[in-house]
Structure formats: C-alpha cells, structure tokens
C-alpha cells in the first residue's frame, strides 16, 4: 500500500513509518512541518526504503498536502502539537494544526476517496478515578491539547456521517520508547537521571497513566488501517498502569541513581489524575500489546544511554531554553 504518514518525523509517526516500510513493504510518504518536535533524523534509516519520500510542509497547507498525497491510497494522521504544558502557555498553534490541519487532510481524502485514519489520544475522555473508558464514553477533555484533539476527532467522524468518507480513529494511551522528545515524562526523567539533574515531579506524583510501548501502538494503528470498520473509534491501552512517581523510581533504579534527585514541583494546572482505556474492541481485530512495561522501560533507558547523537543537539537547543523557562532552572551540560 502507498501511505501518506502526516507527522511522520515525530516520535510515534516515525516508528509507524519504519514499521510499515520494513515489515509490511508499504511505500511511505511522510509529510511533516518539522516543528521543534519533528526531526528528519528520526527517519534517517528509511532514506533507502523503496518508495520512501519526505515532504517538508504543514498539514494545514493544501498545496503541500496535494503534493504529498499524490498516488497514495490512505492517509494516517499523526501530525499534531502534542505537549499539554505548551498548550497551556500557547494554545493558538494547537488550533491551527489540530483543527485546520485535520480539516485540510480530510478534504484531500474526500476529493480522492482515500481511507483516512486519525491518530488520537486517551486524553479526549478526560480523567477517570476508577474503571476504564470505552469508545462510547463521552468526550470530556480538560486541556487545550486534549480539547483540540477531541475537536479533530469529531470533525473526522462528521466526514463519515456527512460524506461517507472511510475514516477510523485510533485513541492511544501514553506512549513511550526511543525517539521521544525529552519534554515528555519518561525521556525527561531518563535524560535528567543520566545527567544527574533533578527529576521534576508534578504535584504528589500520583497521577496514573497507562503506558504503551510505541511499537505496540504502531501495530494497533496498522491493524485499524487494514481491518477497522468505517466510522469507528478504537481505544488502544497499554499493559502498564503506573503512577508517575513509580515510573520515576524505576528509572532511578535503571540509571543507578537514588531518590535524592526527585524534586516535587508545582502541579500542572488542571492536571488529569488518571487515564485508563478498555481496549477490547481493537483486540477483536487481532491486536494485543507485545511489550511488558518493565521490558519496554529497560529498552528505552538503554536506547537513550546509547544514542547521545540523537539527544545532544536537542539538549543544547530549543529544549534547553524551554526547560529553563518552564522549570525555572538550567539543565546540566
Ligand atoms: N505521545 C503520546 O503518548 C501519544 C499518545 C496517544 C496519542 N498520541 C497522538 O499521536 C500523534 C503523534 O504524537 P507524538 O508523541 O509522536 O508527537 P510528536 O510531538 O513527537 O510529533 C508530532 C509531529 O507532528 C509534526 N507536526 C506538528 N504540527 C504539524 C503540522 N501543522 N503539519 C505537519 N506536521 C506537523 C511535528 O513536526 C512532529 O514531527 C499525535 O496526534 C498525538 O496526539 C500521542
């Protein structure tokens, strides 16, 4: 299949592009704006994959989309502004990418009658104290990030109801693994621990997330692309439900550091307490997670330890300035 993977230079999109090109022999075209979170380095091993093409452009730019989508049979959209903290300090770009961008892609799919898969998040359901969300749970997002993701999901559904476009939505829980930008919890804590920087933990550290190894999410998205029913959403939850402070403790163990590095910081405004997804529906399509959290975390820590070529330029650039602004302290060199 020839696939347009939007946002494929980011964390999850690059794993998906690799998986589809290497294991499924798909021809992959990546369209990516290369924001601070998008890096061509994430795709460098795909340069020689048959049919691989990279197009530098925004999903809200109809001309760039028309160029990239030529000859493709399906669009899988990962492109998004993805960091909750950044959505609190500067929501505007979240609207542009999530709403205008998704709409532009849907129009391109409609004109060409293409299959369309939207990559979404458990955060659209909001927080849940007990039990798990199913696909029929109401959307109740709490941050500008999750609200714009929910808006995009609704727009996608409307294109099936109104125009009969063959869409599906895949809502993943918190992903982790190699190539994740260090503003997110696990790479933030791993890199700070490796450098001996304090590990900033929000609030009491008891926010619970459902950890999903990035390759497992990529496989689930492929399953939904191939076998998901038109107009349906599929939840994809990981096997590892864990409070943040427990994740941090495990990372300290894996990096040989002690708990004196933990620093509790003022909580994120409106911080959702717990996310949990029921994944029964996607399992009926034949998907199940392969990676246990303990193994995936070990593999992730090892990858960051061994791949300083990847994170060194990040720690000396935009991220360093962002970190100082956000946490009010500098990172070690
Ligand atoms: N990271 C998670 O835990 C998680 C969990 C579930 C769902 N998701 C969803 O998966 C998708 C990918 O997340 P990620 O963690 O890989 O994000 P990421 O921030 O690592 O990557 C996002 C990519 O999108 C690109 N991009 C941003 N705006 C764009 C635009 N306007 N046009 C074209 N490209 C643009 C960026 O350059 C980057 O390459 C997102 O839609 C996110 O909501 C993420």
pLDDT digits (tens, 9 = 90+) for 126-177: 999 999 999 999 999 999 999 999 999 999 999 999 999 999 999 999 999 9
Q: Are 209 and 173 in contact (CB under 8 A)?
A: yes
Instruction: State the distance from the centre of ligand 1 to the C-alpha of 258, rounded, in angstroms.
Output: 32
Q: What pLDDT is recorded for position 317?
A: 86
Q: What pLDDT is recorded for position 240?
A: 77
Q: Are 185 and 211 in contact (CB under 8 A)?
A: no
Q: Is the CB of 35 under 6 A from ligand 1?
A: yes
Atom 12 (ligand 1): residue with closest C-alpha? 78
pTM, entire model: 0.98
Q: What pLDDT is recorded for position 333?
A: 83
Backbone φ and ψ of 205, nearest 5°: 75, 5
**Residues of the chain falling short of pLDDT 70:** none
Instruction: State the distance from the centre of ligand 1 to the C-alpha of 76, rounded, in angstroms.
Output: 12
Beta bridge partners of 209: 242
Please tell me the number of Cα atoms within 13 Å of 189 on its side-chain side.
Answer: 31
Residues recognised as catalytic: 122-123, 145
Q: What pLDDT is recorded for position 322?
A: 94
Q: Is the CB of 37 under 6 A from ligand 1?
A: yes
């Amino acid at each position: 299949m020839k696939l347009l993977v939007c946002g494929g230079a980011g964390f999850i999109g690059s794993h998906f592009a690799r998986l589809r090109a290497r294991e499924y022999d798909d021809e992959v075209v990546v369209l990516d704006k290369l924001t601070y979170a998008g890096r061509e380095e994430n795709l460098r091993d795909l340069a020689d994959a048959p049919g691989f093409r990279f197009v530098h452009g925004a999903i809200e730019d109809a001309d760039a989309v028309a160029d990239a989508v030529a000859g493709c049979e399906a669009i899988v959209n990962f492109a998004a502004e993805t960091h909750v903290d950044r959505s609190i300090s500067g929501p505007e770009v979240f609207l542009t990418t999530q709403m205008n961008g998704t709409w532009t892609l849907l129009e391109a799919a409609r004109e060409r009658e293409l299959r369309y898969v939207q990559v979404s998040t458990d955060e659209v359901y909001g927080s849940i104290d007990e039990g798990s969300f199913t696909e029929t749970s109401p959307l109740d997002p709490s941050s500008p990030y999750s609200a714009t993701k929910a808006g995009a999901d609704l727009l996608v559904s409307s294109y099936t109801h109104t125009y009969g476009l063959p869409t599906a939505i895949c809502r993943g829980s918190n992903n982790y693994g190699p190539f994740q930008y260090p503003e997110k919890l696990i790479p933030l804590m791993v890199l700070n621990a490796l450098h001996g920087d304090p590990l900033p933990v929000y609030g009491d550290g008891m926010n619970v997330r459902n950890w999903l190894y990035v390759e497992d999410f990529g496989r689930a998205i492929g399953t939904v692309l191939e076998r998901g029913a038109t107009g349906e959403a599929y939840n994809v939850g990981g096997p590892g439900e864990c409070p943040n402070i427990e994740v941090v403790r495990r990372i300290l163990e894996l990096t040989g550091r002690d708990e004196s590095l933990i620093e509790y910081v003022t909580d994120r405004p409106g911080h959702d307490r717990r996310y949990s997804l029921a994944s029964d529906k996607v399992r009926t399509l034949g998907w199940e997670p392969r990676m246990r959290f303990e193994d995936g975390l070990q593999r992730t820590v090892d990858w960051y330890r061994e791949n300083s070529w990847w994170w060194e330029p990040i720690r000396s650039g935009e991220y360093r300035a962002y970190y100082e602004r956000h946490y009010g302290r500098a990172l070690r060199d």
